[in-house]
Structure 1
């Protein structure tokens, strides 16, 4: 499987990842903004762990992805599709 080019739009079913990509942030940048490890962001995007954040981290996340809390989807977990 090849990786998408740097500025090429990636397909994903993860709302968390979609928000990060829309904000044009790398996993490292977003992790730094909200104060979590990069590996945590990766797990959240893959659906291996449910995103859990403190109130301060959630405020920083909203600021980083330029969304209000009300604009965020009800779940940040990837959408599971049956194939």
Structure 2
């Protein structure tokens, strides 16, 4: 379903050696939400994407691929 987006989100998290708990706290969502994203059962909403963008910018991670994959599903 959302495999590319889900794998990209997981990559971003793992790149910084964060647990799902830590990642969720950083971008202000629940751990269950992170789990659903990474398993392709749901996708980030607009607010979450803004938080993900800020997170990527703060940690010098590329956001463009996440944004591109997210926009494919809109």
| Range into which the TM-score falls when normalised by the shorter chain | 0.5 to 0.7
Identify unmatched segments of 5+ residues in structure 2: 1-5
Q: What is residue 10 of structure 2 aligned with on the other side? A: 17
How many residues are treated as equivalent by the alignment? 63
Q: What is residue 31 of structure 1 aligned with on the other side? A: 24
Moved over 3 A (4+): 63-66
Q: Does the C-alpha gap of structure 1 residues 20 and 65 become closer, same or farther in structure 2, counting only changes over 3 Å?
A: farther
TM value normalised by structure 2: 0.66
When Rg is computed on C-alpha atoms for both structures, the one with the higher figure is 1
Q: What is residue 42 of structure 2 aligned with on the other side? A: 49
- Aligned-residue RMSD, C-alpha: 2.4
Q: How does 1:60-75 map to 2 (within 5 A)?
A: 60-63=54-57, 66-70=60-64, 72-73=65-66, 74-75=68-69
Conservation of the 8 A alpha-carbon contact between 1:23 and 1:66: no
Which of the numbers 22, 34, 52 marks the counterpart of 1:58? 52
Which structure: greater helix fraction? 2
TM value normalised by structure 1: 0.60
